[in-house]
Chain A
Amino acid sequence: MDEFELLKKDWKKREASLPKLSYQDIYKMILKKSSSNVKWIFIISMVELSIGLVFLFYTPAYMEQMNYLFVDVLSYLAYPVIIYFVFRFYTNYKKISATSSVKGLMDSILRARKTVKHYIIFNLSVIFITSVCTSVIMYVKKQGGWAVYKQHSELGDHLILMALAVLVTALMIGLCLGVYLLLYGFLLRRLNRNYRELKKMEV
């Protein structure tokens, strides 16, 4: 007999040694809370979505003082974008179902994640623009305002200004990215590996 047929036969035979749960055991189980991946992905995504909102609604005091147009324009532009992301995330999340096929489930989780990923990229770009502008403005202000800066500035000043802007931005983005990769690397490593394997089968 083929070794796999033998295995199949044995597999059936061993059903006898499976544990047997009672009606009560199962009843107790359905009262408990899930600790699935998707629940964690949902929680983290919600935190991310709200961090973006806080960032938009809250303007730091020093920025308010500066009262620059770009901050306002940026905020107003960002509202519809954020609403769009929250809506997309919600509809994507609703589609995640344990009754899909294995690949379908992975697809829907990754799709929901992708929305949040795009949202993060959007937020990081906003952070990038604001921090470049803020650091430039702060620096110039410290030098005594635009007029003074323009009059007395040399190449060295411009270089310091640029370096400062790049440094501040890199620090902020690095921090966000670090947290982000840590969180999802941990949660999605296994899913990504399995998804790649299923994808590879299609080639």
Chain B
Amino acid sequence: MDKDLEHRFITQLEKHQNIVHKVCRIYTSGQDEHNDLFQEITIQLWKAFPKFRGESKFSTWMYRVALNTAITLYRKSKKSVRGDHYEHVLNNLKYNEYNDEEEQQLKLMYDAIKQLSDVEKALIFLYLEDRSYKEISETLGITEVNARVKMNRIKSKLRTILNP
């Protein structure tokens, strides 16, 4: 029974692991921290899995647990050193990948996202993931109207960072 649960969980997570990696990319800087957060999200998902009833989609459920872990439950371990922004990875970006103006702008945007607060990162992440406002509001526990208002503010905040 337990083995069966374990197998179902690992198979599902293996299939949807991109979601967790993307949350790690938004919230961490550096590969060590990425792995550390991935580890903690996996544990939290596994702990919550017996109660997953399949009423919502596995992926929707994962967004919640992963964001909750990144924003609230995760404690940065001391060994991971901060400040290696440029080596890392918001998207494994390297400067030389950006040769034209459009890509230069993308690089700036990813850097700007790094400067957002935890909650703002969650909103922009769910937006990038094409989640509906209904889902965003349910995931964060705010109303749909407030989610829209906040998203517009973040967008203009990002624009200001980009074009000071």
- Assess the A103–B22 pair: CB atoms within 8 A: no
B103 to chain A, nearest CB (A): 8
- Assess the B72–A106 pair: CB atoms within 8 A: yes
Contacts of B17 in A (CB 8 A): 20-21, 26
**Residues 87-120 of B contacting A (Cβ, < 8 Å):** 91-92, 102, 105-106, 109, 117-119
Number of interface residues of A (CB under 8 A): 48
Q: Mark A115-147, 1 if CB is under 8 A from B, else 0.
A: 000000000000000000000000000000000
B133: interface (CB < 8 Å): no
A182 to B139 Cα, complex, angstroms = 31
A10 to B128 Cα, complex, angstroms = 9
Nearest opposing residue in chain A for B67, CB measure: A102
Contacts of B48 in A (CB 8 A): 97-99
- Assess the A19–B21 pair: CB atoms within 8 A: yes
A163 to B91 Cα, complex, angstroms = 64
A20 to B155 Cα, complex, angstroms = 31
- Assess the A102–B68 pair: CB atoms within 8 A: yes
- Assess the B73–A17 pair: CB atoms within 8 A: no
A11: interface (CB < 8 Å): yes
Instruction: Tell me whether chain A's interface is mostly helix, strand or loop, or mixed.
Output: helix
B144 to chain A, nearest CB (A): 12
Choose one: B11, B68, B92; the contact of A98 (CB below 8 Å).
Answer: B68
* Known A33-B43, A98-B48, A101-B139: A17·B91 in contact at CB below 8 Å: yes
- Assess the A10–B106 pair: CB atoms within 8 A: yes
- Known contacts A3-B162, A37-B73, A98-B73; 13 additional CB pairs below 8 A are A3-B105, A8-B128, A15-B22, A18-B21, A21-B14, A29-B39, A37-B72, A98-B69, A193-B117, A194-B118, A197-B117, A198-B141, A201-B142
**A→B interface (CB under 8 Å):** 3-4, 6-8, 10-11, 14-15, 17-23, 26-27, 29-30, 32-38, 40, 97-107, 109, 190-191, 193-194, 197-198, 201-202
* 5 A-B pairs in the complex with CB atoms less than 8 angstroms apart: A6-B105, A33-B43, A102-B64, A106-B72, A202-B142
